[in-house]
């Protein structure tokens, strides 16, 4: 079974085979995790994203999907970009959020990654409530991680996010 670990801090400082980016559909950068990954990872990641836009992803990446690039100067082999859903009060978009984790893990396994670091997708600018985002993240990691992925590490930016994930992880 996959090992799920929690770390509090900046995901761009982690060492892992794959680091997941909470991207937006343009793949051309944004705020939050996305901005931090491009800043610290350097221009090679953006160049790879532009190449994707010029080839198979002319319209960008759809919500719930994932695609890998180089990790540039990050301490990782790959960055896996995934587009979380924007939180909606009217519409249940949980399946799309679960899909981000599942598709990222599927690609990580395809790439031979053993360790995968995730941020709390959609819980920043996209407004997803932290407790629910943590529940979906932990449940999906438990059910969707495939060999050779051995460790799914959630890297949580602040105390509140860490506490929400810890509660889900240790819930009976």
Check if 34 is active-site: yes
Integer Cα distance of 96 and 81 in angstroms:
14
Catalytic residue among 10, 17, 34, 158: 34
Task: Write down the least CB distance from residue 87 to ligand ADP, Å.
Answer: 8
Contact (CB, 8 A) for 142 and 154: no
Residue closest to 79 by CA, chosen among 144, 33, 137, 135: 33
Please identify, using beta-carbon distances, which residue of 112 and 139 lies nearer to ligand ADP: 139
Task: Write down the least CB distance from residue 70 to ligand ADP, Å.
Answer: 19
Please identify, using beta-carbon distances, which residue of 112 and 127 lies nearer to ligand ADP: 127
Please identify, using beta-carbon distances, which residue of 108 and 121 lies nearer to ligand ADP: 121
Residue 58's contacts (CB-CB under 8 Å, 6 or more residues apart) are: none
Strand stretches in 3-162, DSSP E: 3-8, 18-23, 66-70, 78-83, 115-118, 151-156
Sign of CA dihedral 15, 49, 156, 116: negative
* DSSP one-letter code for 61: P
Task: Write down the least CB distance from residue 1 to ligand ADP, Å.
Answer: 25
Sheet holding 115-118, edge to edge: 3-8, 151-156, 115-118, 18-23, 78-83, 66-70
Task: Write down the least CB distance from residue 84 to ligand ADP, Å.
Answer: 4
Which residues contact ligand ADP (rule: CB under 6 A)?
A: 10-12, 22, 31-34, 36, 84, 119-126, 155, 157, 161
Please identify, using beta-carbon distances, which residue of 11 and 108 lies nearer to ligand ADP: 11
Catalytic residues: 34
């Amino acid at each position: 079974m996959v090992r799920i670990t929690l770390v509090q801090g900046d995901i761009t400082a982690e060492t892992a085979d794959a680091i997941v980016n909470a991207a937006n559909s343009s793949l051309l950068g944004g705020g939050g995790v996305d901005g931090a990954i491009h800043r610290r990872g350097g221009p090679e990641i953006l160049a790879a994203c532009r190449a994707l836009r010029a080839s198979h992803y002319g319209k960008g990446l759809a919500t719930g999907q994932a695609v890998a690039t180089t990790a540039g100067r990050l301490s990782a082999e790959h960055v896996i970009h995934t587009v979380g859903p924007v939180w909606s009060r009217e519409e249940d978009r949980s399946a799309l959020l679960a899909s981000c984790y599942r598709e990222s893990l599927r690609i990580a396994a395809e790439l031979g990654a053993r360790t995968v670091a995730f941020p709390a997708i959609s819980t920043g600018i996209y407004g997803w409530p932290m407790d629910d985002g943590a529940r979906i993240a932990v449940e999906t990691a438990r059910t969707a991680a495939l060999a050779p992925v051995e460790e799914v590490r959630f890297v949580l930016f602040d105390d509140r996010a860490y506490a929400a994930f810890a509660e889900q992880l240790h819930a009976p």
